Structure 1
Amino acid sequence: MEEQPECPVCLQSYDGESTLPRVLSCGHTACEECLTNIPKKFPDTIRCPACTVLVKFPPQGPSALPKNIDLLRLFPSISNLTPDSTRNSKKSSFEFVARSWPDEFHAAWKDRVLLLDAVSVESQGSTESASSSRLPGCLKEGDGDGDGDSKVSLLRVGSFQRRDDGCDSVFEFGYVLRMISCLWEMEEEERDELDVIMCVKERGVSKVFGLWGDLKNGVLYLVGEKLSDFSWEEFDDSSCLAVMGMQLCEALLSLNKEGVNAGCLSVSCVKFDEFGNAFVDLIELLETGRNVYGLISEETCRKPVGALEMGLVLKRLVKNGVFMSFEVLFELLKRQNLLITQASSECLVSCSSDVWPVCFLLLMLLGGKQFSEELTESVTGVDAKKCEGKIEDLLVLYTGLMEKLSSILESKLNGKFKSMVGVLRQCCCLDPQARPVLTDLWKCNRELIMNHRLRSLFALEKKKPKKRKEFCLVLGELCRLVVVGSKELEEDLPEEGEFDKDFVGRLSVGKIKSKDLRGHQDSITGLAVGDGFLFSSSLDKNIHIWSLKDFSHVHTFKGHQDKVMALIYINGVESVCVSGDGGGGIFVWSTSFPLEEQPLRKWYEPKDWRYSGIHALAYSEDGYVYSGSGDNTIKAWSLQDGSLVCTMTGHKSVVSTLVVLNGVLYSGSWDGTVRLWSLSDHSFLTVLGEETQGIVKSILSLAADEGTLVAAYQNGDIQIWRDDTSMKSMQIQSSAILSVALNGKWLFTGGWDTTVNIQELSGDEISLECTHVGSIPGSSVVTSLLYWEGKLFAGFADKSIKVYYSGR
């Protein structure tokens, strides 16, 4: 049994009584009750629930609409009730700029990229800059006058191709997307570490502001807060020691909460704010990890490590104020295949590994320089030649350090704070599982400054670690990243040209090339595609035809006595090209072979004192050509004989642009508004752009595709509507936008700034994002744009046409 036709809104079958079918001017039907209840955004208009076209709606309600008599007669047979399935279909599978990363990746990282002008690098000596992956900089804040700027540290975390590295693509990714591309090319482990580090917002840990790219040198930096160093020589107070110890423990506990183990600490990792509070500097911590790799590389020469080499490594670490628990060092050597003995495959690195370096830092505070010297002597004094066979013998080197600690503790504390002495000794235990936790060390430091009676009033909040993958920072991928120019790590540098090769590989399908088409004698005014040809109009009064196969010149249409201002192609039973000129002439040209120089037919519109010619053309499938004129009107002409059908009035200035979309004619004007007209009866529907009362921004170009309408303005703004609802208004150029093209998610704009800018539209019916993808520099003012099957055609004021295309 066939299904009975039903209302597309309430899905109730039509019965002629309670569900009465009414016909809208677009030809679709809905029940009278649903048409009454559908929200009406604009007066006397309604959006068809089937095809979503905006149509006229009688003021007296749906009862004034005709009944669908045929539907009531032939109940089962109706085929026009379903929405136009092609409206939201994807027009083209061509990608002008192919990207390898998904939208979710872009959304997750775009807000972590700092603006290009937000960071400046402080000038440094060439020696320091070349040998370090960390640079000082300045983060602009406030109104940008420099008064509120913050000092920051920049740590290199990635590389990308510089703009002057000789890539033959004329297209340049925008700054943010270049950084996104760099992040996408990183290893997943590197990005995971960056993600965790940038999520740390806990007390006692320095801030990380985001990522910033140095376009001049092709370097991606992690930007972190820069705090003050501390004068360790002047430190000699057990109370200050205890406060600092508590704060360091709190900072590392915060990192542990995020699933991060430091693995090692150095004197330089500890910084202080203006109030004297101790912080762990994440940028310095990563730099320390990289320095450890450099020290190991230098002392071992990339050869297997025995006890002798281990002693040299330990000596260098202690001498540089770097303290690393033995299990972290062994794990590091094991991962680099530098141990000559059979080490256990089990990784013992955990949160307990952070207790060791904190303990040694506190002891260094107590002992000062003498402590460092004595530790170095104790390592040097071990006879490593007798312990080269087993991994257990290598622990003798660490045992010597522990013996030294006992004497320092006794001499410095003079028998006081016995509980703390015991805890510090346990912190230096070789067995990670036998060490106390950071909270125990925190409590011992608290005993030095707090009365015993008050201890129960204060306790360290126990923080549950977040459910994320744990990793040790010094063993992570960020500490192993390449440092260009660093002597310690130059063996890890890619071969010459590898960065360039990788960049070309990433953009192989998105590399944009261009081809010049020359022949016009004046500025290009319009572009159209059809029948395998590109049609171009110009102020030189001619229309050129170019082959889309090899872009060779095929023919020239001549006959206009005035400058040609507008051009369209019409595909039908008789495919034609229609042009309009500044004198009011509308010429129709046949595109069938053999091509003729004279038009098939032509006509002229009447002129008045306001007249300044035809500025825009559009076509509807009903057989009408629409012209936008300097007399502020829109005229509908019969394509068949050139007769004037009607004149539409309402604009207060020149009608500069016309587009047809979903049964509606959109007209843009220098008066700053977009007016909507019904194609069925040429009646006025509504107006867009009146929400900015008192501010007149001339509209110079319109583009529409799949329910999206974009208007380009004289001041460099664009405004975007979806289904006639305003979604986004923003400035993308500093000067007039003369032309705009839209194809799916790609938006192309060009104008007085001589650059073709490419935006990507994304979002849903609630929100819309307009992201700058990149730009193509031009040689002159961009006067016309057209996108077709993966190719972008641009007309310029210098008489040239360029074809931009993507390919290998």
Structure 2
Amino acid sequence: MAESECPVCLQSYNGEDTIPRVLGCGHSACESCLLNLPQKYTLTIRCPACNVLVKYPPQGPTSLPKNIELLRLLDPKPPPLNISRNDRPVPHFDFLPPSCSPDFYSSWKQYILPNDAVLLLQKSQDEAAVSLGSLKEVGKSQKVSLVKVVSLVSDQADSVFKYSYFGRIIRCLGDMRVQDRDELASLFIASLYETKICRVLGLWADLEDDCLYLVCQRLNQSLQNLDCLRNGDGLINNNGLSVFVTMGLEICEALLALSKQGLIAGCLGFSCFTLDDFGHLYVDSNDIIVMGRKVVTSVVQVRCAGRRIKNEQLGVFFSDLLKSNVFLAPEVLFELLSIEGIGVECGGEFRYSVEYGSDVWSLACVLIELLVGKQFTQGLIDYIHLVSAKATEGNSLDCFGMYTGWVEKVSSLMEEKLDIEFVCLQQMLYQCLNFDPVSRPLLTDVWKCIRELIFKPEFDYMIKLDNVVNMEDKGHCLVLGEMCWLPKRNSETQEKDDLSGVENSARADIDRVEAASGVHHLVEGISEKKFKFKDMQGHLDCVTGLAIGGGFLFSSSFDKTVHVWSLQDFSHVHTFKGHDHKVMAVVYVDEEAPLCISGDSGGGIYVWSICVPLGQEPLKKWNELKDWRYSGIHAMTASGKYLYTGSGDKTIKAWSFLDGTLVCTMNGHKSVVATLAVCNRVLYSGSWDGTIRLWSLSDHSLLTVLGEDNARTVSSVLSLSADQHTLVTSHENGSIKVWRDDVFMNSTQIHNGSIFAICIEEKWLFTGGWDQTVKLQELIGDDFQVDAIPIGSIPCVSVITALLYWQGKLFIGYADRTVKFLLYRTIVITKSDRNFSWCS
């Protein structure tokens, strides 16, 4: 019995308030709801139950018939809810890549730069180094820095499937750990919301070395290139008080920008800060990552020397960091050693947590060297080497005592170099070097102290720096984060894979068999060439159409025949002969009896029985009427008891395939009808005139026309495919257009030449055409936006003329003479000009 409630308002039907009115699709809805449903196209409406376009009378819902039988049989008790509303089986794809969710795609697509957006100028072979490039923008070129994030999975030279540029990056991001992606996202967000951080522009892949790079804005000058720093002189020796105040304030503001986004640099140096054309200073996250990777590399080298480090060795290691102009807070160093499992004699007693105060320590070192020059680092290095040398002679070395002496040495140096007007700043910097991060002043306190060198406190009544950073939040340290440890982790993973490859060869064979039945391993299997080919002989000319049914695969060809192949072993079973012209299309129908119907360029329509044994003669045949516009049949499809043909005379004809009588002729297209499809009781027709027309299957009337608004840029529709709410059309200019519920979503150029074949199954879209490439797209989106993500491609040796998906197999028709099928992987390739191929 039909549903007893309206699918819109969910009210039970009755003969007074909620009167059920029957739509053309057979479903019912109450009269009041039909009156308020939106009408995108004139005299059509979408059924709220099945979403099919149906005719809507101009007089309104009152002209629709009442559902009398429903009112008569209506039970006063409401029927139970139908929980399972979608009984459509989920398709099985053995060859498709892991699918990213719409949220994942929408989150990351904005950060992926095009392949041709970046020009690599200076490439660094060291992962702990910055590469230089330029970003191509409209009318100008912007300098950028590039830091390697991770290595891409490279396509093998002999691989059939080739990932697209975008697909490789999405796959790489999907394979990364959640922590890695979260840190990447935090860098993008921080540069977006803070003006003192160099803008992170996006992710870019270098396909030559298979590397994914983080691209960041590159300003004109680095702080380490200032003359006063290169020459070893400080700003004080050059009477640069105003310059120091300006730079000191902006260095503090840059670190505050990081802190406000919950980020801690962890280590700092002059290379981390850059200047723009106006002398304003910014912090560069790429350089922080590179500096952090150098520190991590040094720590790993220490680990290789032993699992425990003495105090004097720790001093030497610390001095080596100072030589490299790397200022690393003690608690950060201890944490790095702890991560690598390196014990320190004083590590447990004096270890503190890493927090915002860690950057205050590094900031103090930067400011002191900016003031007094290289005497700061050189003096400290000499002091540490002197103390370490005494320890090697047999004297015990106290770690905390060495650090206290180091700080006193810094204090003495500042007293010697700085005048009395810098007493407050000297005390502030001294406190910044406190061993305990909690006892160090805040970044805002350092900022105020520097500012008071020029501006008196009474003029700061407009400044409010309270609660700029939530000190209760410890923040995320970049040096301890994922980006600085990625190269090390990747190398360990590679080493592990190399060792396990030989030991687990037997297990690998088992995994390959298991992967053959998994949707997430399909493209991986193709790219690794886990299959074998076998040649077959078939057609003598180009394959034009494919159809499946009754346990057979049917292929039509210009050689005037239809070949029948077994779906069990893909052997050739039979050949239907009899056409006098090129066979342009073939369909399978199964109403009262299973039939194969083929149409040719001369207008001939042949109906073949596929009951075993297969016969030589057609059950029936007939011809379209010819006139001066006639150019034969170009497309065919079937629904119910009707066969629909698209012809060169610009019409669509409906035939009864039982007796071959012409039921009706649908007019409206202005050129050849090249493609037909049926979905949700709607007939879709695409034409060389660039439009798509929707026809009602109930009365064969026109429902609506798509594509008329682009009359100035007409591109012939060569193929279309409809699946549930999505319609995709392919065009002669190499583009596809996507509609969702008959609303245009987007147009994308994906091929270099005409697209002759298209196939959609759920969200997977396969296209092929003139450029001899099958391309795989993933349709991701919602009712407001649909994007076609380029996943990869399969290079071919001939023009693709037909595509068909069936039970995990993709059949492809070609225009060459090769016949192949692939074993082990469930992808079937059909090639034509004299041949036909498939893979299993």
* 1:608 Cα deviation after fit: 0.7
Using a 3 Å threshold, how does the CA distance of structure 1 residues 42 and 434 change in structure 2: closer, same or farther?
A: closer
Post-superposition Cα deviations, 1:49-91, rounded to whole Å, max 9, x if no partner, equal: 3333322333334444444443444444999999998778355
C-alpha separation in 2, matches of 1:308 and 1:31: 87
Q: 2:581 aligns with which of 518, 542, 562?
A: 562
The alignment yields a C-alpha RMSD, in angstroms, of 3.4
Post-superposition Cα deviations, 1:190-216, rounded to whole Å, max 9, x if no partner, equal: 222222222213232222111111111
Match of 2:648 in 1: 630
Q: 1:141 aligns with which of 118, 137, 152?
A: 137
Using a 3 Å threshold, how does the CA distance of structure 1 residues 81 and 307 change in structure 2: closer, same or farther?
A: closer
Task: Find the residue that maps to 2:369 and give its secondary structure.
Answer: helix
Post-superposition Cα deviations, 1:515-551, rounded to whole Å, max 9, x if no partner, equal: 5654112111001111222111111111112222332
Contact 1:587 1:603 in 2 (8 A): yes
Relative to the length of structure 1, the TM-score reads 0.90
- Name the aligned partner's letter for residue 569 of structure 2: D
Match of 1:269 in 2: 272
- Name the aligned partner's letter for residue 454 of structure 2: I
C-alpha separation in 2, matches of 1:4 and 1:598: 48
* 1:161 Cα deviation after fit: 2.2
Match of 1:287 in 2: 290
Contact 1:628 1:635 in 2 (8 A): yes
Task: Find the residue that maps to 2:738 and give its secondary structure.
Answer: strand
* 1:468 Cα deviation after fit: 7.5
- Name the aligned partner's letter for residue 317 of structure 2: V
Using a 3 Å threshold, how does the CA distance of structure 1 residues 211 and 294 change in structure 2: closer, same or farther?
A: same
Using a 3 Å threshold, how does the CA distance of structure 1 residues 802 and 766 change in structure 2: closer, same or farther?
A: farther
Query: Which structure 2 residues correspond to residues 577-588 of structure 1 after superposition, within 5 A?
Result: 577-588=596-607
Query: Which structure 2 residues correspond to residues 127-206 of structure 1 after superposition, within 5 A?
Result: 129-130=125-126, 132-143=128-139, 148-163=140-155, 165-166=156-157, 169-201=159-191, 202-206=194-198
Using a 3 Å threshold, how does the CA distance of structure 1 residues 224 and 536 change in structure 2: closer, same or farther?
A: same
* 1:507 Cα deviation after fit: 6.4
Q: Does 1:89 align with 2:88?
A: yes
* 1:19 Cα deviation after fit: 4.6
* 1:579 Cα deviation after fit: 0.6
Q: 1:398 aligns with which of 386, 397, 403?
A: 403
Using a 3 Å threshold, how does the CA distance of structure 1 residues 767 and 102 change in structure 2: closer, same or farther?
A: closer
Q: 1:414 aligns with which of 419, 429, 446?
A: 419
Q: Does 1:714 align with 2:710?
A: no
Contact 1:269 1:284 in 2 (8 A): yes
Match of 2:550 in 1: 531
Q: 2:521 aligns with which of 497, 502, 508?
A: 508
- Name the aligned partner's letter for residue 437 of structure 1: L
Q: 669-678 or 366-375, which moves further after superposition? A: 366-375
Match of 1:107 in 2: 106
In structure 2, list runs of 5 or more residues that go unmatched. 503-507, 828-839
Match of 2:253 in 1: 250
Match of 2:97 in 1: 98
Task: Find the residue that maps to 1:672 and give its secondary structure.
Answer: coil
Give the paired residue count.
793
- Name the aligned partner's letter for residue 334 of structure 2: F
Q: Does 1:549 align with 2:568?
A: yes
Give aligned-pair identity as a percent: 47
Post-superposition Cα deviations, 1:33-62, rounded to whole Å, max 9, x if no partner, equal: 444443333223333333333223333344
* 1:342 Cα deviation after fit: 6.4
Contact 1:794 1:803 in 2 (8 A): no
Contact 1:42 1:686 in 2 (8 A): yes
- Name the aligned partner's letter for residue 343 of structure 1: G
Using a 3 Å threshold, how does the CA distance of structure 1 residues 696 and 342 change in structure 2: closer, same or farther?
A: same
Contact 2:352 2:437 in 1 (8 A): no
Task: Find the residue that maps to 1:693 and give its secondary structure.
Answer: helix
- Name the aligned partner's letter for residue 681 of structure 1: D
Match of 2:495 in 1: 494
* 1:296 Cα deviation after fit: 3.5
C-alpha separation in 2, matches of 1:722 and 1:604: 37
* 1:581 Cα deviation after fit: 0.3
Task: Find the residue that maps to 1:691 and give its secondary structure.
Answer: helix
* 1:269 Cα deviation after fit: 1.6
Post-superposition Cα deviations, 1:580-620, rounded to whole Å, max 9, x if no partner, equal: 00011111111221122322211111111111110011111
Match of 1:42 in 2: 41
Contact 2:153 2:168 in 1 (8 A): no
* 1:280 Cα deviation after fit: 2.0
Task: Find the residue that maps to 1:680 and give its secondary structure.
Answer: coil
Using a 3 Å threshold, how does the CA distance of structure 1 residues 762 and 390 change in structure 2: closer, same or farther?
A: farther
Q: 1:763 aligns with which of 778, 781, 788?
A: 781
Task: Find the residue that maps to 2:143 and give its secondary structure.
Answer: strand
* 1:555 Cα deviation after fit: 1.8
C-alpha separation in 2, matches of 1:133 and 1:740: 45
Using a 3 Å threshold, how does the CA distance of structure 1 residues 336 and 798 change in structure 2: closer, same or farther?
A: same
Match of 1:352 in 2: 357
* 1:695 Cα deviation after fit: 3.2
* 1:102 Cα deviation after fit: 3.9
C-alpha separation in 2, matches of 1:722 and 1:673: 16
* 1:174 Cα deviation after fit: 2.3
Contact 1:567 1:579 in 2 (8 A): yes
Match of 2:347 in 1: 343
Match of 2:792 in 1: 774
Post-superposition Cα deviations, 1:721-761, rounded to whole Å, max 9, x if no partner, equal: 23323233333223211111111111111111211111112
Match of 2:660 in 1: 642
Using a 3 Å threshold, how does the CA distance of structure 1 residues 411 and 527 change in structure 2: closer, same or farther?
A: same
Post-superposition Cα deviations, 1:557-589, rounded to whole Å, max 9, x if no partner, equal: 111111010111112331111110001111111
C-alpha separation in 2, matches of 1:451 and 1:469: 32
Contact 1:656 1:699 in 2 (8 A): yes
Q: 277-286 or 536-545, which moves further after superposition? A: 277-286
- Name the aligned partner's letter for residue 279 of structure 2: G
C-alpha separation in 2, matches of 1:180 and 1:155: 18
C-alpha separation in 2, matches of 1:575 and 1:467: 74
* 1:99 Cα deviation after fit: 0.4
Q: Does 1:364 align with 2:363?
A: no
Contact 2:355 2:474 in 1 (8 A): no
Match of 1:375 in 2: 380
C-alpha separation in 1, matches of 2:111 and 2:501: 25
- Name the aligned partner's letter for residue 160 of structure 1: L
Task: Find the residue that maps to 2:173 and give its secondary structure.
Answer: helix
Contact 1:161 1:500 in 2 (8 A): no
Task: Find the residue that maps to 2:638 and give its secondary structure.
Answer: strand
Using a 3 Å threshold, how does the CA distance of structure 1 residues 457 and 802 change in structure 2: closer, same or farther?
A: same
Post-superposition Cα deviations, 1:625-647, rounded to whole Å, max 9, x if no partner, equal: 11111111111111111122222
* 1:220 Cα deviation after fit: 1.1
Contact 2:95 2:520 in 1 (8 A): no
Task: Find the residue that maps to 1:576 and give its secondary structure.
Answer: strand
Q: 2:242 aligns with which of 230, 239, 243?
A: 239
Using a 3 Å threshold, how does the CA distance of structure 1 residues 681 and 521 change in structure 2: closer, same or farther?
A: same
Q: 34-43 or 186-195, which moves further after superposition? A: 34-43
Contact 1:524 1:799 in 2 (8 A): no
Task: Find the residue that maps to 2:521 and give its secondary structure.
Answer: coil
C-alpha separation in 1, matches of 2:81 and 2:316: 80
* 1:337 Cα deviation after fit: 1.8
Q: 413-422 or 76-85, which moves further after superposition? A: 76-85
C-alpha separation in 1, matches of 2:464 and 2:706: 63
Q: Does 1:444 align with 2:449?
A: yes
